[in-house]
A and B are shown apart, each in its own frame.
Chain A
Amino acid sequence: MKKTMMGNFAASWGAQLSRAQVIAAYPITPQTLIVEKLSEIVADGKLDAEFIKVESEHSAMSACIGASAAGARAYTATSAQGLALMHEMLHWAALARLPIVMTNVNRAMAPGWSIWADQNDSLAQRDTGWMQIYSSSAQDILDSTMIAYKVSEKVLLPTMISFDAFFLSHTVEVVDMPEQKLIDEFLPPYNPEYKLDIQDPRSFGALTDQNHYYEFRYKMQNAMDDALIEFKKAGAEYEKLTGRKYDFIHPYRCDDADLIMVTSGTISETTNVAVDRLREQGKKVGNLKIRMIRPYPKQDVIEALKNCGKIAVIDRNISCGYHGIFSQELKAALYGELETPVWGLIAGLGGRDVQVENIMKMADDTLKSDTPKDIIWEGVKR
């Protein structure tokens, strides 16, 4: 059934369709609408869930951890400062191997106070052991929620689905809502082998010496490797049910491209338009949308980029003191595999609008340039 909805509501309905059983959340702009809608859905009895209205994001994640450990499917949503406040518990959820799914609305970190789009919040959580998806449409947000639960519950790692503040959270798009029975077929009830159970008392997360902890990490890494396979499988199964295909990367007109722009989030959608216009001008430019950064789909990325002459990564984030994070990740993947030069572009921090013309200029400048640079500030006022 087609409906029009904001990106935020796509997240709420994603949680509903996934039959989340415990929701614990604290409101933060621009995520607020997600939890408002969910509190209504739960109160109206449209979703058989407990909604714990916690007093902080740190507690939101902690409550999800408790619920998940007790064997319930847990969901929360946050943004920026809220996500940062959760940081400790993000590690806890991943190390406890709890398949929690969380929506994060990508928003700039303060100060200065900003409520606008920027990926530094979620990318700062890159090493917490969460799988990370970057969505670029309301449809993607909705569908990713169910796929995330499917994979999370298979490999026992949590997943974070991020998308840009306002450009997506508050934009109304047409979304195809799958039938509940279709999703029930895709996503069976959560029933973990190991959980808090009075019939089988165990201690979870106890003091762990040097003889065991190392192996926990090793197993998490293996689970991330498994996730690369499971996401492909879940994506293929979801495509069969709904006709919509989701992969780690989505290449657009990349096959014969001289230059491939590497993008994520809503900038990916804008870049597709820029690519079409550049193609009309006879410039062979493609766009590689990266949807997944953890686990990093290294082989897929190399495969998509192997034939182009130049790569330009647009980052709506920066690791100050080095450069854009997607750009760093990409260069790490290419090392020893491809020698294609990489231009690192920073754009749109703090919600600065990145328009088709900006992207066309970035592509043109890269095509004209012979020397790659780690960091090029697009449109900065010096």
Chain B
Amino acid sequence: MKLTIPYEEIMQPGHLACQGCGGSLAMRYALKVYGKNTMLSIPACCWAVIDGPFPYTACGVPIFHTAFETAAVVASGIKAGLRVTGKGSSNVIAWAGDGGTFDIGLQAISGAAERNDDITYIVYDNEAYMNTGIQRSSATPPGAWTTTTPVKHYKTGPKKNIVEILAAHRIPYAATASVGYPEDMIKKLEKARDTRGFRFIHVFAPCPTGWKSDPKYTIKLAKLAVQSNIFPLYEIENGIDYKQTKKIKTPKPINEYMNLQGRFKHLSEEEIGNIQKDTDKNYSILSKRFE
């Protein structure tokens, strides 16, 4: 079998991620594809800690740590600064969690997308504010427990559809990816790297700490979310051309995915049934766009 994942490791050992962290895997793959000619703008998120405390760093590429809501626009500023100083060929990635992306940072992302600034925005989505200790974000799925949506009042609203929001800006490239499918993710990263303008990649990255799951199930969960159509894998070019990159012939029931996590443990069969219906409905809406 031909291995398509680049061999070179740019991310270094010694980082501070929890066991089984999907977000650290996502960075590892992203840097493998983007290479050393890359800079990162990282706002408040798990990665602000994972990279290591001053004066250490685990990424092997220059990083500018910035405020929660500014990953996109700081990246735009870096890119502009590099262009005027003759170093515009470097890749600039804004790298943020779901809180910095779906919530507080949305304005700056929308601004950079509308201007079609020549940067890549990658969100590693662990579906809550994990860095501050598992508070709900607008990426938190319905049914989930978090510290601000305790079991008694778990989150009932849907997850914000960030990819659709970004696609509506008609950006050159947007895609979903999962750390459970590295080869698919690598292909998308390569495509993003070789596209000009604003690129957006939504990476599904399980968080054992926040999901109350066993670290050994990170990859399994990342696969199950795709296999049960909770997190379909696809890409969108220019905001209109949808393409499914992983078609699931027989979707698995969502409880297989949910049962491996403590955050959904409180849900009754009926509640899980309703979430299953919503998942099917969402997928059916999305699948029409693949036609």
- A-to-B contact residues, CB < 8 Å: 21-22, 24, 48-50, 52-56, 58-59, 62-72, 74, 88-89, 92, 196-198, 200-209, 212
Contacts and interface: CB of A to CB of B under 8 A. Distances in A.
B70 interface: yes
Contact of A59 (B54, B60, B87, B107): B107
Given A207-B49, A209-B53, A58 B69 contact: yes
Interface stretch (B33-41, B186-194, B277-285): B33-41
Nearest to A22: B80
Contact of A212 (B41, B54, B115): B54
B53 A64 contact: no
Contacts of A200: 62
A176 B114 CA distance: 40
Contact of B74 (A55, A65, A201): A65
A62 B66 contact: yes
A88 B115 CA distance: 24
A62 B76 CA distance: 9
14 contacts: A24-B77, A54-B76, A56-B108, A69-B74, A69-B81, A70-B77, A92-B66, A92-B67, A201-B62, A203-B52, A204-B64, A206-B52, A207-B51, A212-B55
Contacts of B77: 22, 24, 52, 62-70, 74
Given A55-B108, A205-B66, 6 more contacts: A70-B82, A92-B67, A196-B39, A206-B57, A207-B53, A207-B65
Interface of B: 36-39, 41, 48-49, 51-57, 59-67, 69-70, 73-85, 87, 90, 107-108, 110-111, 114-115, 117
Contacts of A70: 39, 77-82, 85, 87
A92 B68 CA distance: 11
A209 to B, nearest CB: 6
A57 to B, nearest CB: 11
Contacts of B63: 201-204, 206
A65 B78 CA distance: 8
Contacts of B55: 206, 212
Contacts of B79: 66, 70
Contacts of B108: 55-56, 58-59, 62
B130 to A, nearest CB: 15
Contact of B60 (A50, A74, A201): A201
B135 to A, nearest CB: 19
B64 A63 contact: no
A204 B54 CA distance: 8
A124 to B, nearest CB: 18
A198 B38 contact: yes
A83 to B, nearest CB: 16
Given A56-B107, A203-B65, A68 B81 contact: yes
A48 B62 CA distance: 26
Contacts of B76: 52, 54, 63, 66
Contacts of A68: 77, 81
* 7 A-B pairs with least C-beta separation: A66-B77, A70-B81, A55-B111, A67-B81, A72-B81, A63-B77, A203-B57
Contact of A66 (B61, B64, B111, B115): B64
A55 B69 CA distance: 13
A54 B90 contact: no
A204 B60 CA distance: 13
Given A198-B36, A206-B52, A88 B67 contact: yes
Contacts of B64: 65-66, 69, 196, 204-205
Given A56-B111, A64-B77, A67-B77, A198 B90 contact: yes
Interface centre among A64, A196, A203 (most CB of B within 10 A): A203
Contacts of A89: 67, 70
B67 A62 contact: yes
Contacts of A72: 80-82, 84-85
A361 B269 CA distance: 81
A92 B44 CA distance: 13
A65 B36 CA distance: 22
A62 B39 CA distance: 16
Contacts of A52: 76-77, 80, 115, 117
A58 B43 CA distance: 14
B74 A48 contact: no
A201 B84 contact: no
A198 B64 CA distance: 12
Contacts of B38: 198
Interface centre among A48, A52, A58, A197 (most CB of B within 10 A): A52
A60 to B, nearest CB: 8
Given A203-B57, A206-B53, A55 B110 contact: yes
A196 B62 CA distance: 6
Nearest to A92: B67
Given A58-B69, A206-B54, A207-B49, A69 B78 contact: yes
A49 B60 contact: no
Given A204-B64, A205-B66, A198 B37 contact: yes
Nearest to B111: A55
A26 to B, nearest CB: 10
Given A203-B51, A203-B65, A208-B53, A48 B78 contact: no
A71 B81 contact: yes
Given A54-B111, A59-B70, A208-B54, A66 B41 contact: yes
A46 to B, nearest CB: 15
Contacts of B90: 198
A54 B39 contact: no
B107 A206 contact: no
A89 to B, nearest CB: 6
Contacts of B114: 55
A226 to B, nearest CB: 23
A204 B41 CA distance: 10
A54 B54 CA distance: 31
A54 B109 CA distance: 11
Contacts of A22: 77, 80-81, 84
A48 B85 CA distance: 10
B62 A50 contact: no
A129 to B, nearest CB: 15
